[in-house]
């Protein structure tokens, strides 16, 4: 027999009380850990998706929409911009890299992005299998996409018009898979990458072949905007072509101050800063997270009060037991140790259950995100993520214990023993 054993016996003596205490505490720990993890993952995932993109240039409209559409690929584009104008911008000395993208088609809901070779560099994507694109109508698959669809290298498929699976018609031209990227954990994992020419070719044929032009956001031959921009040196046939947007990385941070303003004021294009826009978005959506975090802290406080109350009740209810132990020769310190062990046992078990619960919750939420948004999020739990919450719980439990054992210190054994129940 020792103090620890007696604590465990006490712990099991009133299972319902103990269970309630453990339940409350573990749920609040799970909520706290889960919310922190979710918050951090979403932020990371968003920032991760930015890759090296400092600025997006697209048609005028909502800057947030432009970022969501062209960087995160979860919204419709604001419109198109002229290829020529984009080219001029790309030559600006402050621009390190400018990658044009054009999209508007999908395969089974995954977006097909027409772009240049540089697109892969923005996300640090390298080829896992196959070869690089050499000509129009060739496609490289993102890793998640290759896994989810049954496409293999050499396969051909028809793209569907529009960005969603529903309500679209299929283009006649066949696209060929030539390569698959390694997983990056970024947005490129769920995209089909193809040269700009593919998009132009597909839609060009359609325009000639079909009388009724469907509402087409990318090949809208909007020449008005280009009147003064017929570059002499632009020998390419691109002068009439359009792209959806231009992803830009800067040579130095100074560009952040000047370039976007210059574009917004002097051209009929719009420049948006993804970091800034996402931060803004986050301030709105963050309210939800903040509310839930607040609730989790409230539950934590309540469960610590529960621990305190149950320890305090135990000290009160078992005043006679504790007095008996004193007559057996137990010191105050031994009794305090006994109660403290009991509290810490509750805390430790709750922390364990809470951690498992949060794991499970995060797993389910990530799975849902993966299914619904075609976005793979890595589940990683570092021990340092537990430290702040663990420390907080421990502190609160210690407070509860200190308050609960106070009556032991003040205990008048003689009085308790002479007032037998």
Binding site for another protein (CB under 8 A): 1-2, 5-6, 9-10, 12-13, 318, 320-321, 324-331, 334, 413-414, 417-418, 420-421
Using the minimum distance from each CB to another protein, give the nearer residue, 283 or 418.
418
CB of 415 to another protein, least distance (A): 9
333 or 391: CB nearest another protein:
333
H or E, element range at 56: strand 55-59
Token duo for residue 6: 């007696």
Provide the minimum distance between the beta carbon of 336 and another protein in the complex, in angstroms, as a whole number.
14
Pairing of strands 55-59, 191-195: unpaired
Indicate the residue among 50 and 325 with the shorter CB distance to another protein: 325
- Residue whose CB is less far from another protein, 156 or 327: 327
Write down the H helix ranges in 94-195. Answer: 118-123, 143-148
Calpha distance 155→142 (Å, rounded): 15
For another protein, give the closer residue by CB, 7 or 244. Answer: 7
Q: How far is the CB of 405 from another protein (least distance, A)?
A: 17
- What residue ranges in 142-257 does DSSP mark as E strands? 156-161, 170-181, 191-195, 242-243, 245-250
The torsion angle over the Cα atoms of residues 265, 268, 271 and 277, rounded to 10 degrees, is 100
Nearer to another protein by Cβ, of 145 and 408: the residue is 408
Q: How far is the CB of 328 from another protein (least distance, A)?
A: 4
- Minimum CB distance to another protein, residue 310 (Å): 14
Smallest distance, another protein to C-beta of residue 14, A: 8
Minimum Å distance from CB 412 to another protein? 9
Choose among 235, 246, 225: nearest CA to 71. Answer: 246
DSSP state of 187: G
Report the alpha-carbon distance of residue 295 to residue 145 in Å, rounded. Answer: 37
Determine the 3-state secondary structure of 329 from DSSP.
coil
Contact 404, 60 (CB under 8 A): no
Helix-helix angle 15-50:3-13, to 10 degrees? 90
Kindly tell me which of 19 and 373 has the beta carbon lying closer to another protein: 19
**Is residue 336 within 8 Å of 304, Cβ to Cβ?**
no
């Amino acid at each position: 027999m020792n103090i620890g054993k007696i604590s465990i016996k006490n712990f099991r003596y009133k299972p319902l009380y103990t269970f309630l205490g453990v339940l409350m505490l573990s749920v609040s720990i799970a909520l706290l850990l889960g919310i922190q993890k979710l918050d951090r993952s979403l932020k990371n995932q968003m920032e991760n998706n930015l890759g090296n993109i400092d600025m997006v240039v697209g048609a005028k409209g909502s800057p947030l929409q432009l970022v969501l559409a062209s960087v995160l690929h979860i919204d419709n584009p604001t419109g198109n911009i002229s290829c020529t104008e984009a080219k001029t911008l790309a030559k600006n000395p402050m621009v390190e890299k400018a990658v044009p993208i054009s999209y508007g088609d999908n395969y089974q809901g995954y977006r097909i992005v027409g772009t240049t070779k540089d697109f892969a560099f923005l996300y640090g994507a390298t080829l896992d299998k196959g070869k690089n694109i050499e000509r129009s109508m060739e496609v490289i698959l993102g890793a998640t996409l290759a896994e989810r669809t049954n496409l293999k290298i050499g396969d051909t498929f028809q793209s569907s018009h529009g960005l969603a699976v529903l309500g679209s018609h299929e283009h006649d031209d066949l696209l060929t898979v030539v390569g698959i990227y390694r997983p990056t954990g970024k947005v490129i994992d769920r995209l089909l990458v193809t040269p700009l020419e593919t998009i132009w070719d597909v839609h060009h044929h359609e325009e000639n072949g079909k009388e009724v032009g469907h509402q087409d956001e990318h090949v809208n031959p909007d020449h008005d905007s280009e009147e003064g921009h017929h570059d002499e040196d632009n020998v390419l046939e691109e002068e009439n072509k359009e792209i959806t947007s231009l992803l830009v990385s800067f040579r130095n941070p100074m560009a952040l101050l000047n370039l976007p303003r210059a574009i917004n004021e002097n051209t009929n294009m719009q420049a948006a800063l993804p970091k800034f826009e996402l931060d803004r978005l986050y301030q709105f959506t963050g309210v939800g997270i903040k509310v839930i975090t607040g609730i989790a802290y409230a539950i934590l406080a309540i469960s610590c009060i529960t621990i305190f109350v149950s320890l305090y009740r135990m000290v009160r209810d078992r005043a006679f037991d504790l007095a008996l132990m004193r007559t057996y020769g137990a010191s105050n310190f031994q009794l305090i140790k006994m109660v403290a062990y009991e509290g810490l046992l509750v805390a430790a078990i709750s922390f364990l259950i809470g951690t498992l619960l949060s794991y499970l919750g995060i797993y389910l939420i990530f799975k849902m995100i993966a299914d619904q948004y075609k976005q793979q999020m890595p589940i990683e739990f570092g021990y340092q993520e537990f430290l702040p919450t663990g420390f907080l719980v421990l502190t609160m439990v210690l407070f509860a214990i200190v308050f609960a054992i106070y009556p032991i210190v003040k205990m008048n054994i003689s009085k308790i023993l002479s007032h037998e129940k």
